[in-house]
Amino acid sequence: MQKRWNILHANNEVIKKLHVTLKINETICKILIQRGIDDFEKAKNYFRPQITHLHNPWLMKDMDKAVERISKAITTNEKILVFGDYDVDGTTSVACMYQFILKIYTNVDFYIPHRYKEGYGISKQGIEFAKQNNFSLIISLDCGIKSIELIKYAKELSIDFIVCDHHLPDNELPCAVAILNPKQKECNYPYKELCGSGVGFKLMQALAEYYKLNPDSYLQYLDLVATAIAADIVPITGENRVMAFYGLQKVNEKPNVGIKALMQLAGLQKQISIGSLVFVIAPRVNAAGRMDDAKKVVQLFVEEDFNKAMHYAEMLHNDNTDRKEADTNITEEALTIIENDETLISKKTTVVYQEHWHKGVVGIVASRLIEKYYRPTVVLTKSGDVIAGSARSVAGFNLYEAIHACKEHLLGYGGHFAAAGLTMLPENLPAFTDAFEVAVNKTIEPHLLIPEIIIDAEIFFTELNLPFYNILIQMEPFGPENMRPVFIAKKVYNTGFSKIVKDQHIRFSLIQHNKTLNGIGFNMANKFDILLMNKPIDVVFTLDLNEWNGEKNIQLKVVDFKLSE
């Protein structure tokens, strides 16, 4: 697939000034400046994040009300229910808050709604469970900000809500006794990009101060918070970066027993990075809600006995195996449908439907299809008497607006810029398919249908050595708005030793200015002929470290390459 290369730029004078100040490689200085780090103090905070950089939790709107209501509940021996969504952010939030409160007060329990029986977020069934079991205070985590009617219903049943959420609020807010959400109007909290677990963490921090507890009473949960930060794809900047940094330290030194069990089952033995949490831990956690009931995720994360935790971890591991099988099979079926229909090939959208596809993986399948056909994609299945599914966008295109334009054909829809969910009557599928194609055609700019590679800087092979790499890894943890740096080296030659491995990958051996570097390019075998031309190429890559027989060498992880112009 053809890709657009976008090489970022920075002011040379500012680069040289930062280089003089920091005395590190100018290319790294350029990347720092692109990320808003343009002086010594910012660089110090970036490379050496401190727990003391965490903001005062009392700056968050309604924090005093939330702590006061929880304190009242504890004083009067009310039953408290900790309620969260079924994904990684929701379940880790609940596990943290439930354990934290349990250490100071025992009349507390937790609730995770069932994805298919109750749906996303606050559920009527959950509120009725609270009423039947005499809970008078619900702390909702990673959900609730849009649950106007349900929280009103709870209030009529004499159940109070404290909402901890990070999703963008509507103009109307629920009638909760306290709403903790840095994105709400008139909230002066300095950092706006917390995930749900991060908002819950700030409430624990405030409660710890109120009850004069040791900071470790809430810091001990940073490994779970870091897992949520990684999985929820929030910016790795500011406070998120501090929490992710120290959360990863805890994962690697003394992880939550549940995380340790998942790591063992997944065969993770090396230093755990954000990538490990995103691609290994998070899918296993999410699989529970996708394939079955996510309550066992919280049971895993609150369990202190390793053998019992391993029992729950194996359940998640098995759910993930089932999820991968369903994902693979449905993706293959969907690709076959597209490839056998010429009208689908030529479109700017993909809409595919089979009534037997598993609801829990249609969103993943949509993302897989975008890897092959880069365009807004909707994958649908039968859900009772209606059709339901998930939509995914390409970078830079507002998917929600395109679906909103088709609302006359839908029973319901919700989501955001990049992803959405929708339901419709079966007879409306052809009309929706046509309307979605029209809506996207009208609004999408042609270049958005070509995937973009953001390249941080041009570099020469002669700059790439172990000291350079050692500074680079101090930029971790990587993630949104602090991605792993991507480099381009121009006019590079094949040494003649590059080769295809396992029929689909390329093992590179490249030379520039008399310096040779090796690397790997996954799924690039179809471009091997370019290397055989013995002409100069431009190569885009990230850096890795190859350790073999006690030796450490810089290795390229090739992202793309083409003939030099």
* Residue 152 backbone phi and psi in degrees, to 5: -65, -40
Residue 448's alpha-carbon distances to 97, 135, 376, 453, 488, in angstroms, are 41, 50, 10, 12, 22
Only one residue has tokens 């309620």, namely 83
The reply to whether 325 falls in a domain is: no
Please report which residue ranges of 292-428 form alpha helices under DSSP H. Answer: 295-302, 306-339, 342-345, 362-372, 399-404
- Asked if 439 and 521 sit in the same domain, the reply is no
8 A C-beta contact, residue 90 and residue 232: no
Only one residue has tokens 């009850």, namely 211
Determine the pLDDT at residue 52. 95
Token output for 270: 């090396």
Of 430, 449, 468, the one marking the end of a domain is 449
The reply to whether 178 falls in a domain is: yes
pLDDT (tens, 9 = 90+) of the chain, 565 residues, equals 789 999 999 999 999 999 999 999 999 999 999 999 999 999 999 999 999 999 999 999 999 999 999 999 999 999 999 999 999 999 999 999 999 999 999 999 999 999 888 877 899 999 999 999 999 999 999 999 989 999 999 999 999 999 999 988 989 999 999 999 999 999 999 999 999 999 999 999 999 999 999 999 999 999 999 999 999 889 999 999 999 999 999 999 999 999 999 999 988 878 889 999 999 999 999 999 888 889 999 999 999 999 999 999 999 999 999 999 999 999 999 999 999 988 888 899 999 999 999 998 999 999 999 999 999 999 999 999 999 999 999 999 999 999 999 999 999 988 888 899 999 999 999 999 999 999 999 999 999 999 999 999 999 999 999 999 999 999 999 999 999 999 999 999 999 999 999 999 999 999 999 999 999 999 999 999 999 999 999 999 999 998 888 888 999 999 999 999 9
- Asked if 445 and 296 sit in the same domain, the reply is no
Number of independent structural domains in the chain: 3
- Asked if 311 and 367 sit in the same domain, the reply is no
Only one residue has tokens 């810029």, namely 417
The reply to whether 96 falls in a domain is: yes
DSSP state for residue 110 in the 8-state scheme = E
- Asked if 507 and 374 sit in the same domain, the reply is no
Distance CA 525, CA 502 (A): 9
Kindly report the pTM of this predicted structure. 0.92
Only one residue has tokens 């200015």, namely 513
- Asked if 302 and 389 sit in the same domain, the reply is no
The reply to whether 435 falls in a domain is: yes
Range of the domain at 97: 57-317
Q: Could you give the 3-state DSSP secondary structure of residue 515?
A: strand
Q: Which residues contact 211 (CB under 8 A, 6 or more apart)?
A: 104
- Asked if 361 and 502 sit in the same domain, the reply is no
- % of the chain exceeding 70 in pLDDT: 100
- Asked if 308 and 435 sit in the same domain, the reply is no
The reply to whether 198 falls in a domain is: yes
Of 449, 470, 500, the one marking the end of a domain is 449
8 A C-beta contact, residue 19 and residue 43: no
The reply to whether 377 falls in a domain is: yes
pLDDT digits (tens, 9 = 90+) for 394-444: 999 999 999 999 999 999 988 888 899 999 999 999 999 999 999 999 999
Residue 268 CB-density burial (10 A; 0-12 exposed, 13-18 middle, 19+ buried): middle
Of 283, 317, 351, the one marking the end of a domain is 317
